[in-house]
């Protein structure tokens, strides 16, 4: 929906549904292209939200991804109900992974998700309660080139 | 090198996208690990992979790959092919294994995306 502060839309992500994994990111990339967001930002955002979506599919029961666009930034809040992250500092390290074989067969779960996300965003917020879930906040500034 | 020349070099079958065979391929990268592809992929890349699920096509779309070559005779399922058609990403399949496929392309002048430079003796 749109108001004077910008545009926002929320998408549902289903946990463990590997068949549909990635569809939300593909849809959002199309929306950003229709709106005419800078190509470089779309590229970075698409990679980051795809990794975030895969994390929800792999590690959570369900989640939501909310896209907000204001004149200054594109912002994504990815919130899930799932196992959460016990050690965020470790999860931010490349190669650290708690993935199962099923996740690895999908081509994910190599401990690159959060590091990849961090590399692509302008600002990253992360909060997690083990056993409850995780919230990621990804921000991309529209008026500052990275 | 055009995608048609890639097809001939790798003796590949075109699974989707005959109409794209004249596109120019400038560089390539190969991995079965989609997180690595997301990390090293650059727009315009030719993606070689042995991962044939729909995630490989989705990842190619996300990184704006020009085309996908499946190695070891792998073929994507219909879901992947449908997505490739929707996104206009041509798909080839070669019987060569990953190492040989990459080696042949590299030998014929297609560089990778590594920033590391080869040491000169």
State how far residue A98 is from chain B, nearest Cα, in angstroms. Answer: 15
Token couple for B83: 């997505």
| A42 to chain B: closest CA residue | B62
Residue A56 forms part of a structural domain: yes
Domain hosting A72: range is 2-141
Close Cβ partners of B65 (under 8 Å, ≥ 6 residues apart): B41, B43, B44, B45, B46, B47, B59, B89
State how far residue B33 is from chain A, nearest Cα, in angstroms. Answer: 5
What are residue A134's DSSP bridge partners? A80, A128
Close Cβ partners of B104 (under 8 Å, ≥ 6 residues apart): B9, B10, B96
Kindly report the CATH number assigned to the domain that includes residue A29. 3.30.565.10
Least confident of A88-92, A117-121, B72-76, B103-107: A88-92
Token couple for B108: 């014929």
CB contact under 8 A, B43 and A43: yes
Q: Please report which confidence band the pLDDT of residue A111 belongs to, taking 50, 70 and 90 as the band edges.
A: confident
CA atoms within 13 A on the CB side of A111: 11
Report whether pLDDT(B34) > 70: yes
Report whether pLDDT(B18) > 70: yes
Please give the share of chain A, as a percent, with pLDDT higher than 70: 95
Q: Measured between CB atoms, which of A19, A110, A119 is closest to B36?
A: A110
A11 touching B, CB under 8 A? no
Residue A77 forms part of a structural domain: yes
Interface with A, mutate which of B35, B40, B63, B88 (most A CBs under 10 A): B35
Secondary structure class of A34 (helix, strand, coil): helix
pLDDT of res. A139: 98
Which stretch of DSSP H or E encloses residue B84? helix B78-87
Indicate the DSSP class of residue A106.
T
A113 touching B, CB under 8 A? yes
Find the Cα–Cα–Cα–Cα dihedral B28, A113, A15, A122, rounded to 10°: -100
More confident residue, A144 or A57: A57
pLDDT of res. A146: 56
Please give the share of chain B, as a percent, with pLDDT higher than 70: 99
pLDDT of res. B114: 83
Q: Please report which confidence band the pLDDT of residue A145 belongs to, taking 50, 70 and 90 as the band edges.
A: low
| Mean pLDDT in residue range A91-98 | 89
| B41 to chain A: closest CA residue | A47
Domain count, chain A: 1
The overall average pLDDT reported for chain A is 92
Residues of A in contact with B29 (CB under 8 A): none
pTM: 0.90
CB contact under 8 A, B62 and A46: yes
Residue A146 forms part of a structural domain: no
Q: Measured between CB atoms, which of A21, A23, A108 is closest to B35?
A: A108
Q: What kind of fold does domain B3-107 have according to CATH? A: 3.40.1390
pLDDT of res. A6: 83
State how far residue B87 is from chain A, nearest Cα, in angstroms. Answer: 10
Q: Measured between CB atoms, which of A51, A106, A111 is closest to B38?
A: A51
């Amino acid at each position: 929906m749109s108001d004077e502060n910008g545009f926002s839309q929320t998408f549902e992500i289903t946990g463990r549904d590997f068949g549909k994994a990635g569809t939300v990111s593909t849809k959002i990339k199309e929306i950003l292209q229709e709106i005419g967001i800078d190509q470089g930002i779309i590229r970075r955002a698409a990679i980051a939200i795809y990794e975030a979506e895969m994390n929800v599919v792999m590690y959570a029961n369900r989640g939501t991804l909310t896209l907000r666009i204001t004149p200054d930034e594109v912002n994504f809040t990815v919130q899930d109900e799932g196992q959460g992250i016990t050690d965020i500092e470790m999860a931010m390290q490349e190669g650290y992974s708690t993935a199962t074989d099923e996740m690895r067969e999908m081509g994910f779960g190599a401990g690159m998700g959060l590091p990849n996300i961090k590399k692509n965003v302008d600002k990253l917020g992360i909060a997690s309660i083990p056993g409850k879930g995780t919230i990621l906040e990804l921000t991309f500034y529209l008026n500052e080139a990275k | 090198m055009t995608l048609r020349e890639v097809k001939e070099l790798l003796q590949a079958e075109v699974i989707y996208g005959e109409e794209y065979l004249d596109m120019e391929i400038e560089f390539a990268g190969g991995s079965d690990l989609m997180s690595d592809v997301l990390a090293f992929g650059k727009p315009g890349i030719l993606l070689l992979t042995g991962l044939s699920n729909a995630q490989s096509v989705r990842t190619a779309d996300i990184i704006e790959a020009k085309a996908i070559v499946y190695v070891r005779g792998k073929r994507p399922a219909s879901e992947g092919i449908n997505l490739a058609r929707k996104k206009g990403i041509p798909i080839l399949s070669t019987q060569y294994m990953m190492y040989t496929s990459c080696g042949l392309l590299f030998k014929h002048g297609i560089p990778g995306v590594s920033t590391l430079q080869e040491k000169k003796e």
